[in-house]
Structure formats: structure tokens, C-alpha cells
Structure 1
Amino acid sequence: MTNPALSSATAPSVDITTQQGQSHITLRGCWDLRHIAVTKKPLQLVKDHGHDNNCHWDLTAISKLDGSTALILWQAWGEKLPQRLNIKPEHQALFERWQQQKSLTALPQPTALARFIQNSQEQLVDTAEQLRNGVVLLGQLVLDVGYLIRTPSALPLAEISNTIYDAGVKALGITALVGFLIGIVLSYLSALQLKMFGAEIYIIDILGLSIIRELGPLLAAILVAGRSGSAMTAQIGIMRVTEELDALSAMGISHSLRLVLPKVAALTIAMPLLAVWTNAAALLGGMLSAKQSLDIGFQQFFIKLPDTIPLVNVFIGLGKSAVFGLMIALVACHFGFRIKPNTESLGNETTNSVVAAITSVIMIDAVFAILFMNVGMPS
């Protein structure tokens, strides 16, 4: 039974005639999804003769053809146009689109080695570009410092104070907690080994040197890089998305002077203070653990610590903490300015900022360890 909604003029149909041993197939009516979904027999006839290269196809009698049905015909013909085909120009464009896509997919795909080389080249170019931008950012920072020395009234004290509060004061809790727990763990593990050799008293040397010189500044820097560095990058990125950076440029306000310098100055000041705070919390945790596991009193700990740990180690820790703060702020600002005005870029560059900042901190710590290898070590 035929659908009464479809008239004979609009229903798709297929006429097959044979002339001189060659099949002539003529398509008539409306060939769109609405009509071929009702009458499936014409489409089945097309599929039955689709791979016959001797057929002559005539589509000029089609009154309507949509892109989806053109794809079905294209697939029925083996994803290629028949050699003998008559078609209207407006319908020809529908098939040309699928033919172009097939040509693109038929292009030879690069080998795994070629893709590796291409990706490596892109990574090298991106790394070189980032290094250049980092040097430019650092150079602009030096110029801003020179400008502020000549005109101290332009110093952005409010921005520096706010950043010290956000990156320093608000980080006291998490740095103290992590430092305290690390001190307990380090003291407990060291005590297990020292008991085997009867050298329990050297727990003070191990805790003092490792925490004051290395672990305290490093832990504080890693926590600040993950907490405050990501916030700085996201802040600049949001300003990019909301076009606040463009507004500052239009008003003639320097991005470097108002955004980069306050963050660099604040972290350079706050990081040594956070390192001292983290050292104190870690030493407190170590003392409590030493008291429980080795029965070493607090008074003995306080008396022996200054004698076993040279004071220069404190200055080495403070110096590297200042450099950590400088680098974290520069990396955060660098990736912040790389953010494009879309949310995907905001998330990616914030993640890259944290990874790059933590990596830079560890690399700088290794450089300090090599440079000051023979400085401040107990004799």
C-alpha cells in the first residue's frame, strides 16, 4: 500500500530500460530523507545496480535532492561518480563535496617518524618562543625597576601589599601543616636508621641541615607555585578573556608595571618569610617525633642545633627562597599573558604554569646545591 501523503509526482521512482545491451537508469521525483524513508524500493534498486559500470544514470528528472540522500547514492555507487552520469548542476555540487572529502582522506598519511619529527620541531619552536618572551619579560622588569628608582612615587605599593597578603599570609596555614608533617616523617624514618648504629643524637644534624637548607625552602616554593602561581596566571588570563588588558593598554597603563612587577616583588619578599615559617613548623614536627621515638628533649634539641648547623645555611635557604619567588612570579605572568580569550586556553596555560614553575624551582634548587656544595657543611 502506498502512502497517501505522497503523490505520484513527488514519490521517488526508478525507471530501468535496456538499449543496445546497456542499462539506462532514470531517477525521478523527490529524493530526500522524508520520501525515501517511506518508499524504500527505489533506493534498493539503486544499490542493486550501483556497482555496474555499464549503467547509464540519468538524475535530471529528480525534482529535489538533499545532502543526506546524495551521500546514500554516493555510497551506493562505491563512493565514486558513475562514468555515464547526467545530473543537474545544483545536484552535482552535493556529490562534489563528498568527492573532495574522499580526496582529502586519500592523501598519504605521514609516517610515525615524520609525525615525531614534526612534533619535535613544533616543540622546539614553541620552547624557543617562550624563552624569548621570558627574556623580554625579564628585561622589561629591569627597565621598570630602573624607572621606579628614578620616580619612587610610582611604586605600586597597594598591589604589592595585596599580593603579599594573598600569596604569603593566606599560605601560612598550608605551609605550616605540610612542613610539620614532613618534619615528623623525616624524623621518624631517620630515627629507625640511627637506632641501628646507636647514633640517635645525630637526628638533630639531619633534621637541621635537611630542613633549613633544602626541604623548608623547597616545600614552601612548591606549595606557593601550585597555590599562588596558578592564581596569578588565572587572574591575568581572566583579564585577557574580559578584555581588561586591552582596556589598560588603551588607557596607557603599563602591564608590566601594574601586573608583573607587584607580583614579582611580593613573592620575592614573601618567599623567604614563608621558608622561615615552614622551617619552624618542620623542626617542631621533627622535635616531637624525636622526643617520642628517641627520647631527645626539646632543650637538648635547641642547645645543639645552633652548634651543629652553621649560620650560613640559613642565608643559603633565604637566598634561594627569594630566587624561587622571583621565578614563580615570572613564570606565572609569562603563561598568563599567553592565554587566549577562551576558556580552554585558560585551563591549559594555568596547568602549564604550575608545571613550569615547579620544574623551575627544582632546577634552581639543583643549581644552588652544586654552587654551594662546599659552603656551610658541618666540619
Structure 2
Amino acid sequence: MPPATSPADAPAADSAWPRLGQQTQDGRTWAVAGGRWTTLAMSSRPAWEALAKSLSALPPEADRAWDLRPIEQLDHIGAQLLWDHWRHEWPATLELLPQHRAVLDQVAQFTVATPDEPAKSLPDRVREFAHHGPRAMVVMRDFVGLIGQLALDLCTLARAPHRAPWRDFSGHLYQFGATALHITALVGLLIGVVLAYLISQQLRQYGAETFVVNILGLSLIRELGPVLAAVLIAGRSGSAITAQIGVMRVTEELDAMRVMGIPHGFRLVMPRVLALAIAMPLISLWTSMAALAGGMLAANAALDISPSYFLSALPRAVPISNVWLATAKSAVFGVLIALIGCYFGMKVKPNTESLGRGTTSSVVTSITAVILVDALFAVLFKGIGFRG
């Protein structure tokens, strides 16, 4: 065994600092520890950094012997540090004083190795991914749950119509529908005028002025009317839904409803979804009519196409199936806008900053969803509504 001397190859700035070095004797490498391995001695940052560097330079190996006799003082913290460095196993060769052996024996006795976690099953992994996975997965999970709760609430409404909040439904129907007629009509009228003037400039070059009715009819009734109305309603009513429910979250009205046993879905979500699902197709038709009126006036002014000819040629140019398609598409838009507004309203935290952020996210998400669904409808029904 090596002589009981302090390690010469690991000098320290203070003799009280814990030290660790190595020396070779008879072809065998010995790790020699010295100084004070106590909490007080290791509390100095330079001492701790030097000790950590020495420990990392001497990883535990099967053929390495340890000599702890030069240690002046050893407490439970120092013993725990050595025991952890040895990976909770005694070295094959160890020289130390009896009092240090007692401290190490106590640490080794009461140190319990952390058991390995059992392997996770597939349902556990799916559940963990759903709860802690990407943000999109969490949003999808919550949104699907909201749709499921709406389906259950509709079944409850069918079983007991007298329990439905009809007063809230009528109020939302008026707020989302009647109060939006003027702004949608104005925007639709202007869009129709602009579109008719742009189309007339191109059709005049080819002498095909009469086809302005076909282009305006199909584009406004089938696509632009429903999408334009949905974008306006998303910015107007979708933000209002999020703000209303978000304010209820800030003022703790949602918590009070839960305490009183009033279901949020039946009293808050379902009336808004039903009201917007009914109002959205009507607003879409109203917007398309206003846009056609603007296009008719612009066509009369730019191409000398009389309103009587415009009205008589419109049914021949636009099959009635386009109206049904636009109506069905607008109902889907209304349900989506209401659900997205309610979802972000429910997710608002009880502070004003979260309320503003939720309202903005609601409008952006609603408009994006409207455009995506409109593209899906265009692909699925590309062969419907066109004359051969």
C-alpha cells in the first residue's frame, strides 16, 4: 500500500480544502484524498470547482485503489460525495481510518438506490403525449372535447327542449345576425362594384360583355359571398364571443357557474353555436345579394347591361345548386366560428393580457379555418353547380 501522505499532485490554495490526487506504486494506480471533506470546507466556490475537476479526472475503475487516510476530517456530506462517485459500490481496495469507515458505513447503509421506472405501456405513452405533447395536439384534444360536449348538449336539447336557454339563443341570433346586416351589405355592395368594373375591362377587349353575369353570379354566390360574410362575422362576432366568455373568466363568473352546477357547454357554447349556424347562411345570402346588386349597377354603368337583362340572365348562368352549396358551406362556417370563439374564451386566464391575446388568436384562427374549409368544399364539390 502507498504511504499515508497527502497527494502531492493535487495542490490546493488552502490546506483545509478537500484534495484528490493519484499516484502509482508497484504498477497500480492509487487515488489519494486529503484535506477536510466537510460541508464548511466545500462551501468555497474555488474549493468546490477544484474538487469537482479532480473527481471528474478520476472516474471509478475496477483496478483503482483508494487511500483515504490523509483525510483530516470527513462528515456525511463528504462521505455522500465519495459514495456517489463510487456509484454506490465499495472499491476493491480501500484504505481509511476507522472513524472515516464508520461515517461511510452509515452513508452506505441509509442511501437507497432509486429503483428503475417500469416500462411505459402504449396507452400511457399516448396519454402522456396527448397531455404534454406539441401544442397542436393539446389544442386538437381540447377542441375535439368541446365538439363532443356540444353533441351531448344537442342530445339533451332534443330530449328536453323546455330546458334550453331560448332567451339566450334569441339574443345571440339578433346580435350575430340582425346587427350585422348593414356592414355586410355595405362591404358586399362595394366588392360587387369593384369586381364588376375589373371584369368589364377584360371582357370588353373580347366583345364578351354579356358573360359578366356568369362570372359575377358564380364567383359571388358560390365563393366570395359566403367567404366574405364569414370573414366579417369572424372579426365581428367571433371576437365578441371570445371577449364575452373571457370577461366571465376574468370576473370568475365561470367558476361561480361551475359551483352552482350550471354546465358551461349547455348555457354558453350551445346557444352561440346554434345562433351562428342559423344566422350565417342568411347573412351569406344577404351579402351575396348586396354584392350582386353592386355588380349589376356597375355592369349597367360600364357595359350598358340593363338590370332587367342581368336579373333574367342570372338564373340561367348560375344553377340553383350553387345556392344550396353556399348555404351549407355558410352553416359550417358559422359552427366553426362559434366553436373557435368559445374555445379561446374558455382558455382565457384571469388577466387582461390573456383576454386580448385570446381575442386576437380567435379571430386569426377563425379566418384561417374558414379559408381552409372553403378550399375543402371547392375540392369536394368541384363538379357541382356548373352547366355543361
TM-score by length of 1: 0.68
1:148 CA drift (Å): 1.1
Q: Deviations over 1:195-242 (max 9, x none)?
A: 010000000000000000000010000000000000100100000000
In the TM superposition, 1:325-336 aligns within 5 A as 325-336=334-345
**3-state DSSP of counterpart to 1:252:** coil
1:305 CA drift (Å): 0.4
**3-state DSSP of counterpart to 2:168:** helix
Match among 315, 320, 330 for residue 324 of structure 2: 315
1:345 corresponding residue in structure 2? 354
Q: Which runs of 5+ in 2 are unaligned?
A: 1-44, 46-130
Question: Is 2:283 the partner of 1:254?
Answer: no
Question: Is 2:152 the partner of 1:143?
Answer: yes
In the TM superposition, 1:1-379 aligns within 5 A as 125-379=134-388
Query: Is the contact between residue 184 and residue 229 of structure 2 (CA under 8 Å) also seen in structure 1?
Result: yes
1:114 corresponding residue in structure 2? none
Q: Deviations over 1:43-87 (max 9, x none)?
A: xxxxxxxxxxxxxxxxxxxxxxxxxxxxxxxxxxxxxxxxxxxxx
Name the aligned partner's letter for residue 127 of structure 1.
Answer: A
Residues in 2 aligned to 1:378 and 1:182: alpha-carbon distance in whole angstroms: 25
1:115 corresponding residue in structure 2? none
2:73 corresponding residue in structure 1? none
1:124 CA drift (Å): 6.6
1:152 CA drift (Å): 1.1
Name the aligned partner's letter for residue 291 of structure 2.
Answer: A
Residues in 1 aligned to 2:268 and 2:170: alpha-carbon distance in whole angstroms: 13
1:123 CA drift (Å): 11
Q: Deviations over 1:217-275 (max 9, x none)?
A: 10000000000000100100000000000110111000000000000000000000001
TM-score by length of 2: 0.66
Name the aligned partner's letter for residue 229 of structure 2.
Answer: A
**TM superposition outliers: structure 1 runs of 4+ over 3 Å:** none
Residues in 2 aligned to 1:240 and 1:309: alpha-carbon distance in whole angstroms: 47
Q: 1:124 to 1:170 in 2, by over 3 A?
A: farther
Name the aligned partner's letter for residue 222 of structure 1.
Answer: V
Q: Deviations over 1:161-219 (max 9, x none)?
A: 10111111111011001000000011000000000100000000000000000000100
Residues in 1 aligned to 2:164 and 2:221: alpha-carbon distance in whole angstroms: 33
**3-state DSSP of counterpart to 2:363:** helix
Residues in 1 aligned to 2:164 and 2:352: alpha-carbon distance in whole angstroms: 33
Q: Deviations over 1:16-46 (max 9, x none)?
A: xxxxxxxxxxxxxxxxxxxxxxxxxxxxxxx
Identity of aligned residues (%): 55
1:290 CA drift (Å): 0.1
1:67 corresponding residue in structure 2? none
**3-state DSSP of counterpart to 2:328:** helix
Q: 1:295 to 1:240 in 2, by over 3 A?
A: same
1:62 corresponding residue in structure 2? none
1:378 CA drift (Å): 2.2
2:118 corresponding residue in structure 1? none
Q: Which runs of 5+ in 1 are unaligned?
A: 1-95, 97-121
Residues in 2 aligned to 1:225 and 1:141: alpha-carbon distance in whole angstroms: 20
Residues in 2 aligned to 1:192 and 1:123: alpha-carbon distance in whole angstroms: 56
Residues in 1 aligned to 2:374 and 2:169: alpha-carbon distance in whole angstroms: 26
